[in-house]
Amino acid sequence: MEIALYHEPGGYYTESGAAEIGRKGDFFTSVSVGECFGFLLSHIVADCWHASGAPSQFRLIEPGARDGQLSTDIITGLAAHTPALAKIIESTLVEPGGGPYRSLAEAPACATPGVLIANEVIDALPVHRARFAENRWHEIHVTIADTATGFAETLAPPSSSLAARLAEIPTTDLPENYTTEINLAQRSWLADAARALPHGHHLLFDYGHRAAEYYLPSRHEGTLRTYRDHTSGDDPLDAPGTRDITSHVDFTALAADALTAGLTPIGFADQHHALTRAAAPWLRSLDGDPETFRSTETQKRLRQFQTLTHPTMMGQKFHLLSLTSGTASPAPLEAITPRLDLQP
């Protein structure tokens, strides 16, 4: 998965790769819905800045930035409602496909307070696949084979680090050949995030489940999927490098790994609740202002807001795990993710 997505040249997400996002690409993200996502996040960024004492220097770090559209939308939103911050905020874009920094490990440690926002980054980290068969766990490896794709799966005993994580999954009710994924790469990613922003707020948006839901016996084929032209596939060995490979996030494990990295989990909420709370100041500002409410720009933004938050659209598919580093005040993130209910 790491080679197929990030190898240079030819990995899906690298500069010479095939990644296309949006209506004409392989999949949608909250950013590709329109500028509303960044506009709403700009209110959260402003709250984090105020909670940090409104310092004269403030950093926005965006891993998986692609063309930097999200950061642009956030700063544009700040210019509209918090111009003092828009004037002094500086952004760091991290993008394996040719950004100033190709990974968080390359990004310099931030000496000022700030906010790190990762939208659909964790789901694209390489995962280990495992299969429960004959009353024990096996790791799924890839081998060269005389098949249509040139590759095939083969089973082997799991490594010690993978075995430790698999031991946490109850196996009593698992069916034979139950298959799932374990994300070990997120541990080092979170450590890099804590180093890159040692004092600030971290917002991780992605799709996934709590551990209790992730490892249900009914989810016996796992969550690993490929995407191309908005079509989902279930064979990651088919044409690697030409399509996205993604796995749902185990948010329980993500929060635990964040603690190990020195980050403090503050809250967890679906995107519907998180963005609706973030939108409260904007929505209140429309009350009693029918001219602004009827404007073309506002109506467009409201349609995007509905796509981002409606439970049957993106509102319950995506979640936000909020974290702090250093001595950053948890208050802004508690306001949008007031409960942390991620017990296994």
Residue with tokens 């930035």: 65
| The total number of structural domains that make up the chain | 2
pLDDT at 31 (0 to 100) = 96
Asked whether the beta carbons of 331 and 51 are under 8 A apart, the reply is yes
- Say whether both 52 and 177 belong to one domain: no
pLDDT at 341 (0 to 100) = 86
Residue 25: is it exposed, middle or buried by C-beta count within 10 angstroms (0-12/13-18/19+)? middle
Q: Which value, to the nearest 10 degrees, does the dihedral of the CA atoms of residues 172, 183, 202, 80 take? A: -110
pLDDT digits 0-9 by tens, 57-70: 999 999 999 999 99
Res 255 pLDDT > 80: yes
Pair type for strands 58-63 and 89-94: parallel
Where residue 20 falls among pLDDT bands split at 50, 70, 90?
Answer: confident
Structure tokens at 169: 């999954």
Asked whether the beta carbons of 189 and 122 are under 8 A apart, the reply is yes
- Say whether both 14 and 94 belong to one domain: yes
CA atoms within 13 A on the CB side of 89: 28
Which residue range forms the structural domain that includes residue 329? 2-125+184-227+240-336
Q: Is the pTM of this model over 0.85?
A: yes
- Say whether both 135 and 120 belong to one domain: no
- Say whether both 160 and 252 belong to one domain: no
Res 148 pLDDT > 90: no
pLDDT at 17 (0 to 100) = 66
Res 95 pLDDT > 80: yes
Pair type for strands 58-63 and 200-209: unpaired
Res 254 pLDDT > 90: yes
Choice among 85-89, 133-137, 287-291 with the minimum mean pLDDT:
287-291
Mean residue pLDDT of the chain comes to 94
In a domain, 269, yes or no: yes
In a domain, 342, yes or no: no
In a domain, 77, yes or no: yes
